[in-house]
Structure 1
Amino acid sequence: MEIRNIHQPFELDILEVSSYTAKSHKNTFFEMIFVLEGEGIQIVNEHKLPYSADKLFLVFPEDKHSFEVKTLTKFLFIRFNHSYLKNQSKEWIQKIEYIFHNHNHLPGCMLKTVTDKPLIRALALGLICENENRNPNHHEVITQLINTIITIAARNITLLNASGLISTPSKDSVSLLNYIHENIYSPECLRAETIADQFNISATYISEYFKKHTGESLQQYITLYKVKLLETRLLYTQMRLSEICDEFGFTDLSHMNKTFKKYKGVSPTEYRKANGIE
Structure 2
Amino acid sequence: MVKKNLYKPIEVEYKLVEECPLTKSNYTFFQILYVISGEGFAIINDHKTTYRPGNLLLFVPNDHHTLDVPKPSEFLLIKFNRNYLNTTKTPENINSLIHYAPDLQGCILQNEDDKLMVKNICSLIVSELKNGTYNHNEPIVMHFLNALIFITTRSIITNQHVLLTQNSEVRIQKIISYVQEHIHFPQKIKAEIISEKFGLSKNYLSHYFKNQTGETISRFIMQHRLKLIEHRLIFSDIRVNEIVDEFGFADESHLNKFFKKHKGVSLTEFRKKQNKLA
Give the TM-score normalised by structure 1. Answer: 0.72
Q: Identify unmatched segments of 5+ residues in structure 1.
A: none
How far the C-alpha of 1:171 sits from its partner, in A, is 5.0
Partner of 2:180: 181
Could you tell me whether the CA contact under 8 Å between 2:14 and 2:129 is conserved in 1?
Answer: no
Distance 1:104 1:216 in 2: 19
Partner of 2:53: 53
Q: Identify unmatched segments of 5+ residues in structure 2.
A: none
Distance 1:270 1:16, change over 3 A: closer
**Equivalent residue in structure 1 for 2:100, among 88, 102, 105:** 102
Could you tell me whether the CA contact under 8 Å between 1:27 and 1:63 is conserved in 2?
Answer: yes
Could you tell me whether the CA contact under 8 Å between 1:172 and 1:213 is conserved in 2?
Answer: yes
Partner of 2:259: 260
Bigger drift between 7-16 and 203-212 goes to: 7-16
AA aligned to 2:83 is N
Partner of 1:227: 226
Distance 1:40 1:267 in 2: 42
Which aligned pairs between 1:187-226 and structure 2 lie closer than 5 A? 187-226=186-225
Deviation per CA, 1:184-234, whole angstroms, max 9, x where unpaired? 123233111222234433212222333444444332321221011112223
Partner of 1:116: 114
RMSD over aligned Cα, in angstroms?
3.9
3-state DSSP of counterpart to 1:53: coil
Distance 1:89 1:42, change over 3 A: closer
**Equivalent residue in structure 2 for 1:90, among 79, 86, 89:** 86
Distance 1:140 1:267, change over 3 A: farther
Distance 1:197 1:7 in 2: 44
Distance 1:254 1:154, change over 3 A: same
How far the C-alpha of 1:41 sits from its partner, in A, is 5.7
Distance 2:64 2:143 in 1: 26
Give the TM-score normalised by structure 2. Answer: 0.72
Bigger drift between 60-69 and 203-212 goes to: 60-69
Distance 1:135 1:210 in 2: 47
Distance 1:148 1:76 in 2: 15
Taking every aligned residue pair, what percent have the same amino acid on both sides? 30
Could you tell me whether the CA contact under 8 Å between 1:45 and 1:65 is conserved in 2?
Answer: no
Could you tell me whether the CA contact under 8 Å between 2:36 and 2:54 is conserved in 1?
Answer: yes
Instruction: Give aligned pairs, total.
Output: 264
